[in-house]
């Protein structure tokens, strides 16, 4: 019969292989991503995969300090994603990768946008 520790070690080795595959696929997307948003999302995935690596190594070695490192890396990854979102919002449009851009929601209320369009049409007629 297999001991529980051997089962945990085998599961950790399998998890490391799966995480390595995920890491390679995300790294490929960072390099060959068609848009900036794809690349940033892949970097966020790399951050999550690195957290997974650290957690599996913490289980495998029994050294609990690695969990604190994984939590810190998660916070840094979250802040980087928020910073990118603010950058995209300040730019005003999101590139879709097919030559088009999607407008970011306007800060004006819907009624104000409609009236300003009508006023611009009236000014053009005069």
Is-contact 8 57, C-beta < 8 A?
A: no
Q: Where are the beta strands (DSSP E) in the chain?
A: 93-95, 101-103
| Residues pairing with 101 in the sheet | 95
Q: How many domains does the chain have?
A: 1
Q: Name the average pLDDT for the chain.
A: 83
Residue 59 and residue 8: Cα distance in Å, rounded?
A: 8
Residue 118, domain extent: 4-125
Domain containing 96 — which CATH number? Answer: 1.10.287
pTM given for the model: 0.69
Residue 104 contacts residue 89 (beta carbons within 8 Å):
yes
pLDDT digits 0-9 by tens, 25-38: 999 999 998 988 88
pLDDT of residue 110: 57
pLDDT at 101 over 90: no
**What is d(CA 7, CA 82) in angstroms, rounded to the nearest whole number?**
39
């Amino acid at each position: 019969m297999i001991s529980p520790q051997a089962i945990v070690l085998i599961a950790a080795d399998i998890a490391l292989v799966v995480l390595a595959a995920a890491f390679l696929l995300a790294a490929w997307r960072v390099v060959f991503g068609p848009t900036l948003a794809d690349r940033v999302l892949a970097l966020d995935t790399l951050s999550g995969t690195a957290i997974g690596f650290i957690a599996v190594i913490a289980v495998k070695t029994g050294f609990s300090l690695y969990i604190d490192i994984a939590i810190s890396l998660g916070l840094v990854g979250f802040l980087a994603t928020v910073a990118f979102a603010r950058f995209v919002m300040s730019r005003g449009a999101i590139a879709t990768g097919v030559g088009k851009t999607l407008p970011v929601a306007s800060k004006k209320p819907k009624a104000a946008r409609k009236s300003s369009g009508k006023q611009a049409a009236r000014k053009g007629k005069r």
